[in-house]
């Protein structure tokens, strides 16, 4: 398998299908130091040379005090590739690490997102590219279903709350084993985060669950992706999309008085 061709084909498909990149876009790639975001950066740099539209690519990395290796090899890699790279030490994250050393991934992610937006604003970027793979989309779908009671995953394209940045995830069609093998083949220097070694987390449990599923159902990720792209709303339970026989769709959960909780438990 030509890994570079496979990666570029999948990233190009995502960009085209979801209109991720447009003429004149100034893209800031959020590089975590892991294989996924670095493979994404590589793909965007290669596509930049071939695309029929013009766009710029810059990279940024947020230091939150959790890297397990020195960052210098990553700096050397960026310099060798001719990439304009911003390394940002986020002091609020270091303070969080000191005051709440056992904080969860969600809080850490919020701090990192704020820092990335600050960097992107300083870089005059209008697009932030994130390295979430197909595996991440599937994990997000399961996490929201199992733990938050919502049928949702990650959006391929969305906007920041203030709508000052378009957020894109061009690896939506790329399984993680491709980025892993690509990084190894290209000799991309990986700077792992301590969070990637944590056990007993929701993310790790879901990852292990999907790994087990792949053993008997090798195409489980692709099937989940297909499900996310083909939502059969009349066969779900959201009353906003159900025809209950009244001739019109319900306007929302609040338009029908729910049964008392006690009564529901006895049915």
Cα 23 to the center of its chain, rounded Å = 23
Q: How far apart (Å, rounded) are the C-alpha atoms in residues 1 and 182?
A: 11
Q: Which residues pair with 100 in a beta bridge?
A: none
Q: What is the arithmetic mean of pLDDT over 233-244?
A: 89
Q: What are phi and psi of 192, to 5 degrees?
A: -70, 155
Say if residues 28 and 125 touch (Cβ distance below 8 Å). yes
> Given pLDDT bands bounded at 50, 70 and 90, which one contains residue 36?
very high
| pLDDT tens-digit series, residues 3-34 | 999 999 999 999 999 999 999 999 999 999 89
- pLDDT on residue 203: 85
Say if residues 137 and 104 touch (Cβ distance below 8 Å). no
Q: What is the arithmetic mean of pLDDT over 110-114?
A: 91
For each of the domains in the chain, give its residue range(s) and CATH number, in order of start: 3-228 (3.40.50.620), 237-266 (no CATH)
By residue count, the chain amounts to 267
Give the helix, strand, coil percentages of the chain, each rounded to 5: 50, 10, 35
Q: How far apart (Å, rounded) are the C-alpha atoms in residues 27 and 131?
A: 13
**3-state SS assignment for residue 116:** helix
């Amino acid at each position: 398998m030509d890994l570079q061709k496979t990666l570029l084909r999948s990233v190009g498909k995502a960009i085209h299908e979801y209109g991720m990149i447009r003429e004149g876009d100034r893209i800031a790639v959020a590089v975590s130091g892991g294989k996924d975001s670095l493979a994404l950066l590589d793909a965007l740099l290669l596509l930049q040379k071939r695309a029929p539209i013009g766009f710029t690519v810059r990279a940024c990395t947020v230091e939150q005090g959790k890297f397990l290796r020195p960052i210098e090899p990553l700096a050397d890699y960026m310099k060798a590739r001719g990439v304009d790279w911003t390394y940002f030490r986020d002091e609020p994250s270091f303070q969080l690490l000191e005051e709440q050393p056992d904080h969860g991934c969600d809080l850490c992610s919020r701090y990192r997102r704020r820092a990335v937006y600050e960097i992107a604003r300083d870089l005059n970027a209008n697009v932030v590219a994130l390295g979430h793979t197909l595996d991440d989309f599937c994990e997000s779908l399961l996490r929201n279903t199992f733990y938050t009671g919502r049928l949702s995953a990650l959006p391929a394209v969305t906007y920041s709350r203030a709508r000052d940045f378009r957020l894109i995830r061009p690896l939506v069609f790329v399984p993680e084993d491709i980025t892993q093998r690509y990084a190894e083949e290209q000799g991309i220097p990986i700077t792992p985060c301590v969070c990637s070694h944590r056990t007993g987390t929701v993310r790790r449990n879901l990852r292990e669950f999907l790994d087990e599923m792949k053993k008997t159902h090798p195409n489980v990720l692709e099937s989940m992706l297909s499900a996310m792209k083909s939502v059969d709303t009349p066969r779900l339970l959201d009353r906003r999309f159900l025809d209950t026989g009244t001739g019109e769709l319900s306007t929302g959960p609040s338009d029908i008085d729910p049964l008392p909780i006690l009564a529901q438990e006895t049915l």
